[in-house]
Amino acid sequence: MRENEFSLINRHFKGRGGACHPFTHLAIGDDASLHKLAAGMELVISTDTSVENVHWPDDLPLEVAADRAVCSALSDLAAMGAEAVAVWVNVMASDQDAVKAIAEGVSSALTRYNVELVGGDTCRSATNALAVTVAGQLPEGTAMRRDTAQENDNIWLVGVLGLHALGLQQWMSGNKQGAFVHHINEIAPNLAAGVHLREMGVSCCIDVSDGLLQDATHLATASGIGMDIEVTQVPQWPELCQQLGDSNLVFDAVAFGGEDYALLFTAPVSMNIPADLAVKIGNCRAGSGVNLYRDAVVCHVEKQGFLHFE
Amino acid sequence: MRENEFSLINRHFKGRGGACHPFTHLAIGDDASLHKLAAGMELVISTDTSVENVHWPDDLPLEVAADRAVCSALSDLAAMGAEAVAVWVNVMASDQDAVKAIAEGVSSALTRYNVELVGGDTCRSATNALAVTVAGQLPEGTAMRRDTAQENDNIWLVGVLGLHALGLQQWMSGNKQGAFVHHINEIAPNLAAGVHLREMGVSCCIDVSDGLLQDATHLATASGIGMDIEVTQVPQWPELCQQLGDSNLVFDAVAFGGEDYALLFTAPVSMNIPADLAVKIGNCRAGSGVNLYRDAVVCHVEKQGFLHFE
């Protein structure tokens, strides 16, 4: 049966995703959604686009691509330390089957993280794509930002780096069963860790979506400081070097590979960070720019991370 | 000079659009934007996608297409009676020139309606497109909705119908200088009228984006009532019939043509609606469905309005 976009939205999107949140008073079905913010809370909003053949290869199932698109948007809330409260999705789809597949992926991610789908729209496009807008909340004035790192802060990492890039390389080279491929499907926004960090008093954080070097540079630039990072301290470095047999491959994946959605944050030396939450990978310093070290030797790098209009 | 997306965003988007609003505490530049809502206010959010060759012909200048995309998103706030307070834009662009042209159009619309651009992202795509997310505010519990029309309410219209469709027909047929073509470029969200209606106590409203019949049907269905509408009462009906020499063309443009962004609202018979604000075009009744009348004769119609996956 052929359906129009209204029946498609009702059937595939309405009421999907996580449970209703008190933030939302009117969800899908009107010209806009309606929301209230609890007293003393601040609203956090981010939006993220994912496009076929740019953010995912066109032979990746659309369900997976859509799930990833939602997770990647939620990761921006994790980086601010916000609790996720609502999501809107713009679906651009080549046909009805694509709408259905994208809806499955969106619902799957939102159900996993218990966030309600409160609005969006669905339209036809020659290129499959999603724009995912996410809202979160946190107590006023407590958001983690990019511009609050201080000289001498330690630099910490929650999560892994490089595994998604290694998986994508295998997938793109035709090795669809490669050992790292499952990391393409399993990206996980560190929402709980983000809230935990914010509650501990961490003030400076970013999610690593475009590679360690590029995202660390965003943070250093915004804060007006420099950074020294020892890449061999990132989780699984020795295991990866052994597994791949070439530490240069690991270095490239860690430094330039994106989409693992680790959280990179800084904290004063005096702050006690639990070892099961994060690993220390470097220090902030006066000056500017990010130096990557490999076994204490500074690395000279040419490229940065993923750029859309290089 | 080739630029990456970060310098493109800084140069073309950051600080563009209207003045800062107290709603926003942190705009473009971090993982998310930060906002506070004044006490007693409700947040209104809508998002709208516009895709090349679907929402606009690919020979229309991208500046115009982007301006229209923003206006069409703002129109959803008008339909709820909200004051527009912030906009996020996801730009999908085939190359840097397209980014620049889209940024011009976005800035132009936001400057005209004095709404701040507070976030978004920019990426490469084979198909030029925008997703525009808009936030508005209004006093708690006062939003105009689709589901509050009552039997015997009058049906009113703010703005015009059909002119965009007639302009698009001329443009698509190669008549780029046609008398109606300027209506493609000049869509105007009825933001001030929306606020005015809400303040007058109007509770039921929708913006006409997909044609009078389709959008009136949304409203009738959501409210659980029927509607009788006399199309010859829409503004400029006699003039258009005279100008085109065929009233069937006018009927089709009014009933099925979208994107004029008129506001269709209902109000109790007792409510005094100023003649310079809106024209009465019909009445609500018990039952269901929308009947269009032409000089008091009911019209039998097959099609509805624009559908993406017909």
Are the beta carbons of B308 and A96 separated by less than 8 Å? no
Q: Which of B196, B191, B188, B7 is nearest to B84 (CA)?
A: B191
What's the 3-state SS for chain B?
CCCCHHHHHHHHCCCCECCCCCCEEECECECCEEECCCCCEEEEEEEEEEEECCCECCCCCHHHHHHHHHHHHHHHHHHHCCEEEEEEEEEEECCHHHHHHHHHHHHHHHHHCCCEEEEEEEEECCCCEEEEEEEEEEECCCCCECCCCCCCCEEEEECCCCHHHHHHHHHHCCCCCCCCCHHHHCCCCCHHHHHHHHHHCCCEEEEECCCHHHHHHHHHHHHCCEEEEEHHHCCCHHHHHHHHCCHHHHHHHHHHCCCCCEEEEEECCCCCCCCCCCEEEEEEECCCEEEEEECCEECCCCCCCCCCCC
Which stretches in chain B have pLDDT values below 70? 1-11, 15, 303-310
Are the beta carbons of A32 and B79 separated by less than 8 Å? yes
Q: Check: CB of residue B137 under 8 Å from CB of residue B43.
A: yes
> Is the CATH number 3.30.1330.10 carried by domain A5-139?
yes
Type of residue at A33 = S
C-alpha to C-alpha distances, B5 to B8, B121, B172, nearest whole angstrom: 5, 9, 33
- Sign, CA dihedral A5-A10-A15-A16, equals negative
pLDDT score at B2: 46
Q: Give the pTM.
A: 0.90
Q: What is the DSSP string of A144-180?
A: -BSS---TT-EEEEES--SHHHHHHHHHHTT-TT-TT
Are the beta carbons of B45 and A26 separated by less than 8 Å? no
pLDDT score at A197: 97
Residue B133: its chain A contacts at CB < 8 A?
45, 47, 88, 131, 133
C-alpha–C-alpha distance, residues A217 and B252, integer Å: 56
> B117-124 and B154-158 as β-strands: parallel, antiparallel, unpaired?
unpaired
Q: Residues 6 or more apart from B61 whose CB is under 8 A from it?
A: B101
pLDDT score at A258: 83
Give the one of A43, A79, A121 whose C-beta lies nearest to B36's C-beta: A43
Q: Which residue has the tokens 């250093």?
A: A220
- Residue B235's region, left for phi above 0, alpha for psi from -120 to 50, else beta, is beta
> Is the CATH number 3.90.650.10 carried by domain B154-298?
yes
Smallest CA–CA separation between B106 and chain A, in Å? 16
pLDDT score at B304: 58
> B226-230 and B24-26 as β-strands: parallel, antiparallel, unpaired?
unpaired
Q: Which of B133, B134, B121, B156 is nearest to B265 (CA)?
A: B156
pLDDT score at B7: 65
Nearest CA in chain A to B35: A43
Are the beta carbons of B32 and A44 separated by less than 8 Å? yes
pLDDT 10s digit of each residue in chain A, 310 long? 445 665 666 667 776 777 788 889 888 878 889 999 999 999 999 999 999 999 999 999 999 999 999 999 999 999 999 999 999 999 999 999 999 999 999 999 999 999 999 999 999 999 999 999 999 999 999 999 999 999 999 999 999 999 999 999 999 899 999 999 999 887 899 999 999 999 999 999 999 988 999 999 999 999 999 999 999 999 999 999 999 999 999 999 999 988 889 999 999 999 999 999 999 999 999 999 999 999 999 998 876 555 555 5
Best mutation target, A9, A46, A49, to test chain B (most B CBs within 10 A): A49
C-alpha–C-alpha distance, residues B80 and B98, integer Å: 32
- Sign, CA dihedral A41-A43-A44-A48, equals positive
C-alpha–C-alpha distance, residues A62 and A53, integer Å: 12
Q: Check: CB of residue A77 under 8 Å from CB of residue A194.
A: yes
Residue A216: its chain B contacts at CB < 8 A?
none
Domain spans, chain B: 5-139, 154-298
Q: Enter the tokens of residue A150.
A: 């201080």
C-alpha–C-alpha distance, residues B148 and B204, integer Å: 5
Give every strand in the sheet of A41-51, ordered side by side.
Answer: A117-124, A83-93, A129-139, A41-51, B33-35, B24-26
pLDDT score at A304: 58
C-alpha to C-alpha distances, A230 to A151, A155, A207, nearest whole angstrom: 17, 10, 18
A 220-249 residues with CB < 8 A to B? 222
| Total length of chain B | 310
Q: Residues 6 or more apart from A231 whose CB is under 8 A from it?
A: A212, A237, A251, A254, A255, A281, A292, A293, A294, A299
Q: Which of B54, B103, B110, B65 is nearest to B86 (CA)?
A: B110
Q: What is the pLDDT of residues B75-103, one digit of tens each?
A: 999 999 999 999 999 999 999 999 999 99
